[in-house]
Structures are given as C-alpha cells and as structure tokens.
Amino acid sequence: MKMVFLGPPGAGKGTLAAMASSKKGLPHISTGDLFRAAIKNETELGKKVKSILAEGRLVPDDLTIALVKERLSRDDAAKGWILDGFPRTIGQAAALQAIDAAELVVNFDVPDEMILFRLTGRRVCKDCGKIYHVATMPPLREGICDVCGGPLYTRPDDSKESIKTRLAAYREQTEPLIDWYGKLGILVTIDGSGSPAAVYERFAEVAGA
C-alpha cells in the first residue's frame, strides 16, 4: 500500500506513520529526514539543500521531488510506503502521481486548539529524535530521553507564534490537497484527536490493521 499522510502541524502524522510503518512493514518516509540524511551524507542534492536552508530559503519543489523520487526507487519501497510531510503542494502531488502514484491519502483532522496544546508541550530528543509531551507522554526523567539518555529540547518552531504562522501556511499551501486528492477518489478523512492508539484504531479501520 502506498500512502500519504496529510494534516496540519501537530496532527500526529509522524507518530502515526511510525506506528503504521512498524505494523505494516512499510518504510516511513519523511522529507525532513531525507533533507537531514542528504546533508549529513554530503550528497550533491544534500549540498544544494544545505546551502538553501543556510540562507533561510524554502527548498524548491524540484529538489524536494528529486530526493523523494530517489528514496522511492529503493528496494524497501517496492511494495509500498508511507509519506509524511510530502506532498505539500498540488504541484508536488502531481509529480508524485507521475513518479509512483499514491493509493490512499489519509487526512488527519485536528482542531487548532488541540494542535497548540500538542506542539507547545512537545519535547524532542536532540540525539535520537524521539518525541515526548510534557502532559500526555512525559519522559521517565524530566529533560532526559528514555531511549538514549539524550537531552530533550523544544523546537524553535513550536512556539505559539510560530505555530500560528505554520498553520496559516498549511491552510494556504497544503489544505487544497484535500480537495485535489478527494477528486481522485483516494482520500479518507479521520478524526485525529485523542491518543495515538485511538487515532491508529480509526486509521486501521480504513487501511487494515
């Protein structure tokens, strides 16, 4: 199954994609991870991405699409994949359908007040990237990752003002994908509120366990 996870920042796409990846044996592909890996490995695309980000610019569609295309060509993605964070625009979505067409697009619908609660309380491990929440999923020791012992931090874009800016960008750029995929007949929208386990149960009903 080839799946795209849609939803606003804080909808839980990354957490749910990781759960689905583990249960279904499909690679979880995040564009953020692809950017970081390309930069770390100093690939040609990575060098271009690094210079663009260093200047504070957005990575253009052609570079993002090229990174995704390369990742989808690997053997582990032959039977399916879960994309998180891509596509963000209709142009990217059209390119994806030409490269390796999505079969199911899941839109996680979450109210803005819940997004603010989730993101302002989010803490991330600097070393392994595991995500926590101060209220709903705290670490065993405050400020310390349960998995690797690394320090936890608040992402700069998880401030209230940054979140509002990100939500506005999502409404303008990415929300139109809901209608676009809906017209293709491959979109399902599910309630993204509640615990990850509860949301995953709703997802499993439409995608299989």
Residue 80, sorted as left (phi over 0), alpha (psi -120 to 50) or beta, turns out to be left
Strands (E), 7-156: 28-30, 81-84, 104-109, 122-125, 131-133, 152-153
How far is it, in rounded angstroms, from Cα 18 to Cα 144? 21
Among the listed residues 40, 141, 155, 160, the single catalytic one is 155
Residue 59: which of 44, 43, 73, 48 has the closest Cα?
48
* Residue 122: active-site member: yes
Among the listed residues 88, 118, 123, 202, the single catalytic one is 88
How far is it, in rounded angstroms, from Cα 117 to Cα 135? 9
Contact predicate 132/157, CB 8 Å:
no
* Residue 155: active-site member: yes
* Residue 13: active-site member: yes
Amino acid at 154: T
Cross-strand bridge partners of residue 46: none
Structural element, H or E, at residue 124: strand 122-125
* Residue 88: active-site member: yes
Among the listed residues 13, 24, 48, 71, the single catalytic one is 13
Residue 107: which of 19, 18, 164, 170 has the closest Cα?
170
How far is it, in rounded angstroms, from Cα 99 to Cα 69? 7
Among the listed residues 24, 71, 122, 202, the single catalytic one is 122
Residues annotated as catalytic (active site), given as ranges: 13, 88, 122, 155, 166
